[in-house]
Amino acid sequence: MLVSDTLDITKPYQGYTYSYPHKSTYRTFSPIQLKDIWKEENSAFFYTHIPFCEMRCGFCNLFTVSNPKERVSKYIETLQLQMAQISEVIPNLHVKNFAIGGGTPTFLTVDELELLFKSIVDFGVNPKQFFGSIEASPKTLSSEKIALIKSYKIARLSMGIQSWIQDEMDALGRPQKIETTLKAVENIAQAGVEEFNLDLIYGTHNQTKESFLYSLEKTIHYQPTEIFLYPLYIRKLTGLGVKNQKESQHQFELYITGRDFLLNNGYIQTSMRCFRRKEAIDCRPNTGYSAITDNMIGIGAGARSYTKNLHYSTDYAVKRKEIKTIINEYMSTKHFKSVNYGVRLNIEEQKRRFLIKSLTDGGTLNIALYEETFDKSPFEEFHILNELQERNWLTEITTNVFSLNQEGMCYEDVIGPALYSENSKQLMSDFEWK
């Protein structure tokens, strides 16, 4: 039995496991050639990271800097160089779905954005065939950029709103005016973007049930395809973390309020955070991509790449000075054919990752696939699965394929961390944050 602890549901916000193992488990190792890392793989999700924003929000620890003095065009040239070298050493890698994230990709000018899209298409990403997504912030998203995104057939546009109340935005340390949000959302709605997602944050200390309902009402007025409800996490070295600000004590009640509001207003819940408009529930093309088993090839400073047994990236930091140093190092790199920073996944870590990806963020747990991959039953190895069943948090959607039900989804941020290995927890706690 690999996990015997029981879940502590008195603390529903223990950690968001959007990737496992966490970046703070990454360490330097002797260089490994990309061609060796990828020799048994032939397809991957494609991710490009744009580590620039027009502001640095108080809650955010993503790998990004605001208003960089460095030349953004130099960064794009470096992305092109990296892609060219990857194509050379892994010529048979087929890319399927893709995402352009950050930071804020729409921080780029229209011309820079177009150059980026062209380079990605040249690399072999085909937005007409595969589903792609791009992130934006209200202030940087002009009608011209929306038109460009549409012309490249990038299907999904995702933008942070966080709140429709100025005092809450100020408490989040996000220098964004409500008028700016309004204009950007109206532009997206008018442009008829295929899929658009808006993010809201709950749990700011001055947020009330009423004020959260107001933000939700304002948001659904535009009928976004998806709405993400993010619990506020106050993280180390961020603006709010340094000020020692605290999340609202009513965070979980706020979540239930928000969830029920969306369920009663035409949205279906697909994970703890994600709510999808009912009419859009089946309209995403099935490209055979699986977040559980597929690889990822990441381009840019801060981007991660994954194969089955190795995850790697550039160095990681949260503070502006250190992030700038890493971006500058990236831009002066001439050789992208080997890597030396990341984490290896032994079989135990691969099992844990499989279960985390299956149980959170809208995944499904396919028991036959697990048994075929690892020659063992996950119920025999991970007591937590029995606990999920005892708590009636699992629904069998087809024979031997399970997903978390509505009650279970409330606790994704308890279930994810409960599946971390002792080794990963140790590496995370030893990590030197900078």
Ligand X SMILES: C[S@@+](CC[C@H](N)C(=O)[O-])C[C@H]1O[C@@H](n2cnc3c(N)ncnc32)[C@H](O)[C@@H]1O
Q: With CB cut-offs between 5 and 8 Å by kind, which of ligand X, ligand SF4, none does residue 230 bind?
A: ligand X
Tokens 């025999």 belong to 380
- Residue among 179 and 380 whose Cβ is closer to ligand X: 179
Interacting positions 214-233 with ligand X (CB under 6 A) = 230, 232-233
Contact, 310 vs 342, CB < 8 A? yes
Residue from 7, 44, 60, 272 binding ligand SF4 (CB under 6 A): 60
- Residue among 104 and 307 whose Cβ is closer to ligand SF4: 104
- Residue among 101 and 127 whose Cβ is closer to ligand X: 101
Interacting positions 40-69 with ligand X (CB under 6 A) = 53, 59-60, 62
Report the nearest approach of ligand SF4 to the CB of residue 53 (Å): 3
With CA atoms as reference, report the closest residue to 373 among 345, 397, 396, 354. Answer: 354
Of the candidate spans 97-105, 274-282, 286-294, 350-358, the one that interacts with ligand SF4 by CB under 6 A turns out to be: 97-105
Residue from 48, 162, 211, 314 binding ligand X (CB under 6 A): 162
- Does the protein bind ligand SF4 through residue 229 (CB under 6 A)? no
Residue from 104, 181, 295, 313 binding ligand X (CB under 6 A): 104
Q: Which residue's CB atom is positioned nearest to ligand X?
A: 160
- Residue among 160 and 416 whose Cβ is closer to ligand SF4: 160
- Does the protein bind ligand SF4 through residue 352 (CB under 6 A)? no
End-to-end CA distance of the chain: 36
Residue from 137, 181, 207, 219 binding ligand X (CB under 6 A): 137
Residue from 56, 259, 276, 277 binding ligand SF4 (CB under 6 A): 56
Report the nearest approach of ligand X to the CB of residue 415 (Å): 18
- Does the protein bind ligand SF4 through residue 53 (CB under 6 A)? yes
Residue from 199, 315, 381, 412 binding ligand X (CB under 6 A): 199
Report the nearest approach of ligand X to the CB of residue 104 (Å): 4
Report the nearest approach of ligand SF4 to the CB of residue 140 (Å): 8
- Residue among 53 and 384 whose Cβ is closer to ligand X: 53
- Does the protein bind ligand SF4 through residue 55 (CB under 6 A)? yes
Interacting positions 121-180 with ligand SF4 (CB under 6 A) = 137, 160
Residue from 68, 102, 203, 298 binding ligand SF4 (CB under 6 A): 102
With CA atoms as reference, report the closest residue to 428 among 1, 157, 2, 26. Answer: 26
Query: Interface residues with ligand SF4 (CB under 6 A)?
Result: 53, 55-57, 60, 62, 64, 102-104, 137, 160
